[in-house]
Amino acid sequence: MNSPSRLVLITLSTILSLTLHAQQSLSDSINAIGAAAQGHVGVFMQDLESGDSTTFNDLDHYPMQSVFKFPSRSASWTQVDKGRLSLTTPIDIRKSEWARMFSPLLNKYKKEHFTLTLEEVLAPTVGSSDNVGCDLLFHLVGGPEVVNTYIHQLGVTDISIVYTEMGMAADWNNQYSNWCRPSAMGRAAPALL
């Protein structure tokens, strides 16, 4: 074997060894985080420039909890793009319907009954993880099943959206019906943002 070929082989072997070491180190770090949190951790990471990705515990179904606010917001934006809604679409709100729901948005208003526009509800839904805002968006587009269908039509099927925030608050176990695989949310993210 001539010297340049040997050098290329040694270089490739070194790169592969470093890559495997980095992956093992990353895997060990994720395991340590999960152990410290006393939880089961799933991860999807992607280099946005190269498109390379890696996953960790990606085959499991993880409850999305507030992560499903991104699909609800995106489904609303899609309805605006299609002309079915507008950013000025009014949303009638009665605070009494939302007792005990986390909502920085509603806490800003003293009135019991008022109207906001879709535009006023969109930003705090994701920016402040506003539960009422999320449910208002679900109601506006036709419910969780419409958002679930929307996500699946994007080609991402390892996501399930069944319950609203209020539906999850009604029964602790309902949150497990709203699930995704980490890679599924990663694949959906570019379309949702």
Catalytic residues: 66, 165
**Distance between CA 16 and CA 14 in Å, rounded?**
5
- Between CA 118 and CA 188 the distance in angstroms is 23
Q: Are 68 and 178 in contact (CB under 8 A)?
A: yes
Q: Over the range 122-150, which residues count as b (16 or more CB within 10 Å of their CB) and which as e?
A: bebbbeebbbbbbbbbbebbeebeebbeb
Q: Find the radius of gyration of the CA atoms of the chain.
A: 22
Tokens 């991104």 found at:
70
Cβ neighbours, 10 Å, residue 42: 20
CB 171 within 8 A of CB 61: no
Q: How many CA atoms lie within 13 A of 19 on its CB side?
A: 9
